[in-house]
Amino acid sequence: MSGIILEIDGRKFEASEGMTILQAAQKLGIAIPTLCHHEKLEPYGACRICTVEAEIRGWTKLVAACLYPVEPNLIVRTRSEKIDRIRKTILELLLAHAPDSTQLKELAKEYGADRDRFEKEASFCIHCGLCVRYCAEIKKKNAVGFVDRGTRREISFIPEIASKECWNCKECFPLCPTSALQAAYVLTEALASSLHSFVHEG
Amino acid sequence: MDNEKIDKIIDKHHCEASSLIQVLLEIQSENHWLPKEALERVSERLEVPLTRIQHIATFYKAFSLVPKGRHEIHICMGTACHVRGATRILDTVQDLTGIKPGETDSNLKFSLQTVNCLGCCALGPVMEVDGKHHGKIAPANVADVLKKYD
């Protein structure tokens, strides 16, 4: 088997074709932080916390480790001053949405991110897409999806599907790094039941 | 909008999931908005999950998930139109139709929207109704233009 030789943090590694930098690093036991990554799901590249420096033919660029495929003679640096700075800013931006997420708080401690740097916009959702993708790719139920765009983008359950499928599943709940998903679910449930009683009483 | 009409549009696109946006655009232009039942029908026929349709329908400004009037009024609020009195045109239209920007009147006749530039600044102030431009319009002429639509 022809392996692809690359270097991660100064250590040589023989990767197979189609592997991503993240997978190679995990094989080497090098930790790269991730938020939107899940091994059962397709790589998504939403959170950008896995940003690493990739040097190829003398050029260094910043890439998302969970998406970037390995290539011969690639030199990867998973920690550097620049990367730590980028991860810190990303975390600060995410913390403006979900200031009390344990996962974010732990990373914030490691990278010295200040949770109060940006004005709070407590939507609690960091758009990692884990719930949406898990429901679509693994469960194939599509009960939850994204709506709207830009700063107004949010997750939204389809009540008709959720009322049938979600009660016995809820497998997406523990995936959520911020608990925003549970809030959205409870809200949908409350709206659905009030609508239900409205229809029956009205 | 009944299922028969929706099915006709879907059949025209050979029931292909890749034509989703085209199908939605055609329903939108025929019905002026996308009712939930229509989206459910499209989801069923094209075998595209409803979450995906919802995502697309809320992403593009061309789609509306709330009822829209038969005629769409766009009033240009761009700089050129603004200095030539676009606000007065807007006030007159609001008085005549009784709706504010972003709203639709109760008998679904007009929907009102402000836009930031229609690209014909020399004609300012510009009011556009159903894609037809009315340039250099004066507040006194607005009523005459709107009278033509029912």
Cβ pair B54:A142 closer than 8 A: no
> Given A132, A142, A148, which is nearest B50 (Cβ)?
A142
Question: Which pLDDT value is given to residue A121?
Answer: 83
B125 cis-preceded (ω within 30 degrees of 0): yes
State the Cα–Cα distance between residues A174 and A114, nearest whole angstrom: 26
Q: Is A50 exposed, middle or buried (0-12, 13-18, 19+ CB in 10 A)?
A: buried
Domains for chain B: give ranges and CATH numbers. Answer: 3-59 (no CATH), 71-147 (3.40.30.10)
Q: Is the pLDDT of residue A202 over 50?
A: no
Those residues whose C-beta lies under 8 Å from the C-beta of residue B4, and which sit 6 or more positions away, are none
List CB contacts (< 8 A) between B59 and chain A. 148-149
Which DSSP category does A137 fall into?
I
Residues A51-67 have pLDDT tens digits of 999 999 999 999 999 99
Decide if A137 contacts A164 (C-beta within 8 A). no
Residues A7-25 have pLDDT tens digits of 999 999 999 999 999 999 9
Q: In order along chain B (150 residues), what is the average pLDDT of each group of 10 residues?
A: 88 92 93 92 94 94 90 93 94 93 91 92 92 92 89
Domains for chain A: give ranges and CATH numbers. Answer: 4-79 (3.10.20.740), 130-201 (3.30.70)
State the Cα–Cα distance between residues A137 and A39, nearest whole angstrom: 12
Cβ pair B49:A149 closer than 8 A: no
Question: Which pLDDT value is given to residue A151?
Answer: 87
State the Cα–Cα distance between residues B75 and B85, nearest whole angstrom: 11
Assess: ipTM above 0.85: no
A199 or B12, which is more confident? B12
Question: Which pLDDT value is given to residue A181?
Answer: 78
pLDDT band per the 50, 70, 90 thresholds, residue A185: confident
Closest CA to B71 of B21, B105, B94: B105
> Given A146, A148, A158, which is nearest B50 (Cβ)?
A158
Question: Which pLDDT value is given to residue B131?
Answer: 87
Decide if A100 contacts A177 (C-beta within 8 A). no
Q: Tokens 């919802």 correspond to what residue?
A: B54
Decide if A8 contacts A30 (C-beta within 8 A). yes
